[in-house]
Structure 1
């Protein structure tokens, strides 16, 4: 214990002969001083621990915040344009059908769906091959053949006002001039086509009957090729419930944090009072 409380510090606080003590009394005082110093050190260590409890936040508040769901994004209903690769996969077209010029033997795809962006857009469904699609179409001079897959999407993708299921997906073969575009190939296999003032493709074969690339607020899309509208609604309700639980959990965590802080402050004040009383008692003993 004496190694923790330097002798010089004790002598400065309790000088020899200051109260007319005898040699034996001074020896006893020196023996008691280290014990008082140890008590003070222990009390200060306890205060430091209590201060740490007061400063540290309650973990429940952080856990509640982590459960907060991200805001649900909006989607758009539109016809997306795709190109089939040699390995059979679909690739989102990097340019519109009015300027894209396919080569002889290419396979193009059009899919109506509710999507947030090109990364999450639904691809055309079904097995598609150029040989099967254009088997009965002969190649002509200064022309090219292009297979076109048209997928009208699912009921969940359909805009308001459309009744029943969308038309079935189908594949056609278009023979167009060598300089023809993807839009020319689509016009050969599907009619009528509807465009808006900005040349955006709005409808194929009259589907959908109205609208053009509308934004669907608060909807994340069907998310599945064969999904139904009920599934999307269920996801929305689930997100709302989760959000409510997260908000309640965060409020509870905040109250717990406040109670913990108040308890730490009260305990610290009590420790300070005890330390002060001990110091007063020690001072009185010195005067005797």
Structure 2
């Protein structure tokens, strides 16, 4: 076999193998994640709209007159995370708490989310949104303000907030899956072929690719 034939054979074999691997990957494509189920943390200076916090509640230190919000929901990314449904209205939430020297007042909004956000087997509290005015020391964190108005709190690794007022009882930032986006109702023939692996059509396509590759390799050898 000439050097040219060897190179041709190698290229054709590589292309055939690559095509087969691509087909196998399509057949075994896993389900995509819809997002994560967790408590998101929000901030406001008490008069501006909610803004997604750049720090977690364990390290953020809101100022006197600020509002902090916590929302339980399923979210894929920070830019599509659901905000608390109640406004960050410090004046209303803390209207009945008198300011004291050596303390600061923080308005706290807790939104437990709806049934669609609840983990399997759990139900959100009947009162979806609760508010409270935390009067805490001047250097207190958002987590300490939350603890002043809602207990018990449950934390996971890395100081991640997992539960507020006992909800949810289990889990912490778990991934939430969804069905493959390309899935469609199977036809009768697809149902007969369904055995947990690639469909007959995919395997037949792979066989055709290998057959074409083999023919090209045979021709390349005989040209040499």
Is the shorter-chain TM-score for this pair beyond 0.5, marking a shared fold? Answer: yes
Identify, as 1 or 2, the structure richer in helix.
1
Number of the residue aligned with 1:214 = 174
Pairing 1:109-258 to 2, within 5 Å after superposition: 109-163=69-123, 167-218=127-178, 240-241=183-184
| Contact kept in structure 2, 1:154 and 1:166, CA below 8 Å | no
**Post-superposition shift, 1:72?**
4.4
Instruction: Give the distance between the partners of 1:171 and 1:199, measured in 2 at CA.
Output: 23
1:84 to 24, 27, 44: 44
**Post-superposition shift, 1:80?**
0.3
**Post-superposition shift, 1:126?**
2.1
| Contact kept in structure 2, 1:81 and 1:111, CA below 8 Å | yes
Instruction: Give the distance between the partners of 2:164 and 2:44, measured in 1 at CA.
Output: 19
| Contact kept in structure 2, 1:155 and 1:166, CA below 8 Å | no
Instruction: Give the distance between the partners of 1:238 and 1:166, measured in 2 at CA.
Output: 34
Bigger RCO of structures 1 and 2 (CA < 8 A, at least 6 apart): 2
| Contact kept in structure 2, 1:143 and 1:177, CA below 8 Å | yes
Number of the residue aligned with 1:52 = none
Secondary structure in 2 matching 1:183: helix
With over 3 angstroms needed to count, the CA separation of the structure-2 counterparts of 1:110 and 1:164, relative to structure 1, is: closer
**Post-superposition shift, 1:117?**
1.6
Instruction: Give the distance between the partners of 1:199 and 1:88, measured in 2 at CA.
Output: 27
**Post-superposition shift, 1:119?**
1.2
Instruction: Give the distance between the partners of 1:187 and 1:110, measured in 2 at CA.
Output: 12
**Post-superposition shift, 1:84?**
1.9
**Post-superposition shift, 1:107?**
0.7
Q: What TM-score, normalized to structure 1?
A: 0.50
With over 3 angstroms needed to count, the CA separation of the structure-2 counterparts of 1:109 and 1:211, relative to structure 1, is: same
RMSD between superposed Cα atoms in Å: 2.5
Number of the residue aligned with 1:24 = none
Rg larger in structure: 1
Identify, as 1 or 2, the structure richer in strand.
2
Query: Which runs of 5 or more residues in structure 2 are unaligned?
Result: 1-30, 188-200, 202-224
With over 3 angstroms needed to count, the CA separation of the structure-2 counterparts of 1:184 and 1:87, relative to structure 1, is: closer
Q: What TM-score, normalized to structure 2?
A: 0.64
CA deviation string 1:61-117 (max 9, x = no partner): xxxxxxxxxx74431110000012566311110011111111110011000000112
Query: Which runs of 5 or more residues in structure 1 are unaligned?
Result: 1-70, 219-235, 245-250, 252-288
Number of the residue aligned with 1:282 = none
Instruction: Give the distance between the partners of 1:165 and 1:183, measured in 2 at CA.
Output: 21
